[in-house]
Chain A
Amino acid sequence: GAVVSQHPSWVICKSGTSVKIECRSLDFQATTMFWYRQFPKQSLMLMATSNEGSKATYEQGVEKDKFLINHASLTLSTLTVTSAHPEDSSFYICSASGLAGGKGEQFFGPGTRLTVL
């Protein structure tokens, strides 16, 4: 099956610093990648959608200058949380879709737990 990895799996940072999270499709080309945020005991909330080589499309209420998304290749997307603050602490999940799987199917990474002190 299609595999998506995320790195790091867990990161702790100081308030005001920036953190980069990588999302990689390991065995298929991901034409589209998605970034979700999940608070404890809540559902996944879509933050943004990115297509390879183009700018990401952000959901309403998501600050594009704070959550920088880059999808430079068909196997890699990055999410950078700039000037992180404690309220940015959350579980971030990426997913990818492409030619793998059925139409519309998204393959999810294992997630990254971000803790901002």
Chain B
Amino acid sequence: AQTVTQSQPEMSVQEAETVTLSCTYDTSESDYYLFWYKQPPSRQMILVIRQEAYKQQNATENRFSVNFQKAAKSFSLKISDSQLGDAAMYFCAYLSYNNNDMRFGAGTRLTVKP
């Protein structure tokens, strides 16, 4: 079974600075999807960014970008120009191409300091 590991339980960043959240995963599959979700205090899961494994180009969404290293099975999230509203739990998730089972990492709590 696929596993997703987030080794940073908590991270802190100064407002306007850049922070990188780490995620590694274990799989024997070649086709899959990777996601970063944000869960603010409201607990609503919000999709931040997604990456298809067959795409070599790293996904980017405004201030959010990923560093996808398929061989290393690494999928880190970089948040640039951090804002107070970025404070939340961030979950890395893996989705197999062949089924609908989404596996989540343990999460990283991001604090943004003004």
Contact = CB atoms under 8 A, between A and B. Distances in A.
Interface stretch (B21-29, B67-75, B93-101): B93-101
Interface residues of B, number: 20
Q: In the A-B complex, list the 9 residue pairs whose CB atoms are closest, starting with the nearest.
A: A108-B45, A43-B104, A104-B95, A104-B33, A44-B104, A110-B44, A111-B43, A43-B106, A43-B107
A44 B46 CA distance: 13
Contact of A34 (B42, B46, B100): B100
A34 B102 contact: yes
Contacts of A34: 100, 102
20 contacts: A38-B43, A43-B91, A43-B104, A43-B106, A43-B107, A44-B91, A44-B104, A45-B104, A91-B43, A93-B43, A95-B45, A95-B102, A103-B33, A104-B33, A104-B97, A105-B50, A106-B100, A106-B102, A110-B43, A111-B43
A74 interface: no
Counting chain B CB atoms within 10 Å of each CB, which of A38, A93, A104 scores highest?
Answer: A104
A110 B42 contact: yes
A55 to B, nearest CB: 15
B50 to A, nearest CB: 7
